[in-house]
Amino acid sequence: MSNAYTVLGVPVAADRGEIRAAYINLARRLHPDRNAGSALAVQRLRDVNQAYALLKDPERRSTYDQLLQQMQERARQQRKRAATIMAASFALTTAIAGTLLFFTRLSPVADAMNASEYSEPARPTEVASFAFDSTSSAIVAEMAAGSEKPQMDLPAREALQEPSTRTDAAG
């Protein structure tokens, strides 16, 4: 049986008169003479009778109210505990994901992954833009003019080379 107050449709603070009036009203509506052949009405009338039997006796009602209050407090504590666990889980997951992203950006493995055979090689103009100085403008102009091998100084030449063919130790 569900909550006795809900079955009768009365508030928890209802007095004996309200409970009796709700019971009489429901008993008349759900009586088998008015609902011939309705199994649902018969079951509902049984529930109403049980709820009224429980709530009409002040001693039983007091015990029921205490049990109902304990059940509600337990449910509240379970919801609070579940919310705490969910919040901690979210914080931990977020921290782990953030840490992984941070270390992924800093790790040499990420550099190796970025330079894998499946990635698109950097275009010379993008690489040259990092080492752009006063001599680089002449090199870019020579490249735009169609010169096969423009004359350039060593730092600009290294900037245009593939990362795996650089002569310095950092590449």
Q: Model pTM greater than 0.85?
A: no
- The structural domains of the chain, with segments of one domain joined by +, span 4-56, 72-119, 124-164
Phi/psi region, residue 146 (left: phi>0; alpha: psi -120 to 50; beta: rest), is left
- 4-56: CATH topology: Helix Hairpins (1.10.287)
> Within 2-107, where are the H helices?
4-8, 16-30, 39-56, 58-106
Mean of the per-residue pLDDT values of the chain: 77
Whole-number Å distance between alpha carbons of 80 and 67: 20
pLDDT classification of 164: cutoffs 50, 70, 90: low
Q: Is the pLDDT of residue 74 over 90?
A: yes
Selection from 8, 75, 15, 90 nearest residue 44 by Cα? 8
Q: Is the pLDDT of residue 128 over 50?
A: no
pLDDT classification of 151: cutoffs 50, 70, 90: low
Size of the chain, expressed as the number of residues it contains: 171
